């Protein structure tokens, strides 16, 4: 009798756990309202309009020059870059020649790796959906 009561009391917890797991899976797989191209374009436009300094191989460039550089890399990569994560990881993180990381520099002198900055922008975009 006690064993049957314990089993019956566990059933609701099983359904709660099942519902919770389903909810997490569904929410994580919910598609973004932005296409991958739109996300990449958003990052490039935000970079260009940011008026931050872009540091590549130790040299400083304007945000407009940075956007032009990233655009060239993207065009050169062609269809090998199919999503925004690949764009950030393979094109917007470091120099393909020297391997040195790219940075953005704020007016107060604070430097942040470009990949971190872009992922924060992307997170902000996704939160707006």
Percentage of the chain with pLDDT > 90? 69
| Alpha carbon distance 29, 86 (integer Å) | 19
| Alpha carbon distance 46, 66 (integer Å) | 11
Token pair in block for residue 8: 């019956």
Residue 12: its pLDDT value, please?
55
| Alpha carbon distance 35, 90 (integer Å) | 19
pLDDT in tens, 13-60: 544 444 444 545 444 444 458 899 999 999 999 999 999 999 999 999
Q: What is the pTM of this model?
A: 0.73
3-state secondary structure of 77: helix
Could you state, in order of their start, the residue ranges of all structural domains in the chain?
Answer: 1-30, 36-127
């Amino acid at each position: 009798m006690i064993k049957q009561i314990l089993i019956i009391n566990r059933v609701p917890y099983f359904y709660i756990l099942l519902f919770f797991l389903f909810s997490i899976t569904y929410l994580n797989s919910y598609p973004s309202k932005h296409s991958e191209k739109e996300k990449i374009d958003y990052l490039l436009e935000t970079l260009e309009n940011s008026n931050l300094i872009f540091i590549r191989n130790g040299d400083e460039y304007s945000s407009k020059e940075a956007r032009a550089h990233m655009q060239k890399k993207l065009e050169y990569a062609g269809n090998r870059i199919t999503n925004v994560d690949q764009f950030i990881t393979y094109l917007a993180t470091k120099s393909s020649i020297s391997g040195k990381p790219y940075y953005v520099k704020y007016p107060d002198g604070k430097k942040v790796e470009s990949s971190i900055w872009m992922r924060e922008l992307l997170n902000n975009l996704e939160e707006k959906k």
